[in-house]
Amino acid sequence: MSKRDYYEVLGVSKNADEKDIKKAYRREAMKHHPDRNPDDPAAEGKFKEATEAYDVLMDGRKRAAYDQYGHAGVDQSMGGGFGGENFSDIFGDVFGDIFGGGGGRGRGGPQRGSDLRYTLDISLENAVKGTTVEIRVPSLASCDVCDGSGAKPGTSSTTCGTCGGAGQVRMQQGFFQVQQTCPACRGRGKTITDPCGSCRGQGRVEKTKTLSVKVPPGVDTGDRIRLSGEGEAGPEGGPPGDLFVQMSVRQHPIFERDGKNLYCEVPITFADAALGGDLDVPTLDGRVKLKIPPETQTGKLFRLRSKGVKPVRGGGVGDLLCRVVVETPVKLNKEQKALLEELRSTLGEGGKSQSPRQTSWFEGVKNFFDELKP
């Protein structure tokens, strides 16, 4: 049976570069991998076909011969071909990020410990002004008895006999090989025959440490403070990770924050709205006087300059915006009701000039229904 064109097998053009060829092979190999298609006898053949095409097209010499002579230029019987190429090298080159990289690569230095995250719940006042708080963080710390080695004091670990210290072993799966973490040493490259009694050979123990965290002024929910070296200790004496303290600002009963500005609602009486007056308004720095002009309508915003938040990343201080809400009086006595009835009757004499918004609204309603008439 004649072989298919290698470019057709991978679905690439004849001028495809190495990046496109590698991407195409990854797609085809994952699609037809025998382990993913145990009930499809043809899958292994397609996988081998894609691997063969990849091997030729990724080799400049073989590709040139194939482009000139076709399959005859790389066929084993004609002196070309794979010549005992190892498919595991091809597979490892393309999927090294999945199976831990290609063979022959030595182990790096000590592994760094994991980073930790701690959510700090703080009040709006502390977020705006800054504070210092103590937190208790459970973590894995280096064992003091064995100094993180995992071996009993006076003894030491030995090179793993299974992986030879590499931390990984090659496993045969069908006609190719993949690298896996060594099952004997679990990737450490060393074995401990006499483990430390305190950490049981792990080199780390669970501890809860108390840390002082300085919260700068102006932080907001989602901001993070990084404490270098306060994460988990690395295995086998490796460097520790970092601790990230994430801010969560509690909801305030009076103020609402939006960036560097603060907002609040200020209830005022009907009399103050109509006649005007002075009100004591709370801020995060104390009380201030807010002058309410006569004829103030509900919803009007008053801006108090520089009474907001100074952003943690710099910039000017925000403002406090007070939205007044006219409150309707409740639980009126007979005298108060009588006075309001008298006021209502006199307000009617003023006409449009005393209730401009109400008059405008009713005129708009009237025009709306007039336009609906045929």
Q: Which residues contact 365 (CB under 8 A, 6 or more apart)?
A: none
Give the tens place of pLDDT for each residue, 249-302: 999 999 999 999 999 999 999 899 999 999 999 999 899 999 999 999 999 999
| 299 neighbors 327 (Cβ within 8 angstroms) | no
| 355 neighbors 347 (Cβ within 8 angstroms) | yes
List 139's β-bridge partners, or say none.
207
The ranges of the chain annotated as CATH 2.10.230.10 are: 116-249
Q: Give domain 256-327's CATH number out of 2.40.170.20, 3.40.50.300, 2.60.260.20, 3.40.190.10.
A: 2.60.260.20
Distance of CA 145 to the CA centre of its chain: 37
User: How does strand 158-159 pair with strand 131-142?
Assistant: unpaired
In this predicted structure, what is the pLDDT of residue 352?
58
Of 238, 155, 161, the closest CA to residue 204 belongs to 238
In this predicted structure, what is the pLDDT of residue 1?
54
Instruction: Check if CATH label 1.10.287.110 holds for domain 6-85.
Output: yes
SS3 content of the chain, % helix, strand, coil (to 5): 35, 25, 40
The span from the CA of 118 to the CA of 139, in Å, is: 11
Q: Which residues contact 343 (CB under 8 A, 6 or more apart)?
A: none
In this predicted structure, what is the pLDDT of residue 173?
59
| 100 neighbors 170 (Cβ within 8 angstroms) | no
- Segments of the chain with pLDDT less than 50: 76-108
The ranges of the chain annotated as CATH 1.10.287.110 are: 6-85
In this predicted structure, what is the pLDDT of residue 177?
65
Cα 234-235-237 angle, rounded to 5 deg: 75
Which one-letter DSSP state was computed for residue 272?
A: H
In angstroms, the Cα distances linking 57 to 70, 82, 277, 362 are 12, 12, 86, 80
What is the architecture, at CATH level 2, of domain 116-249? Ribbon (2.10)
The ranges of the chain annotated as CATH 2.60.260.20 are: 256-327
Cα 39-9-24 angle, rounded to 5 deg: 90
| 116 neighbors 240 (Cβ within 8 angstroms) | no
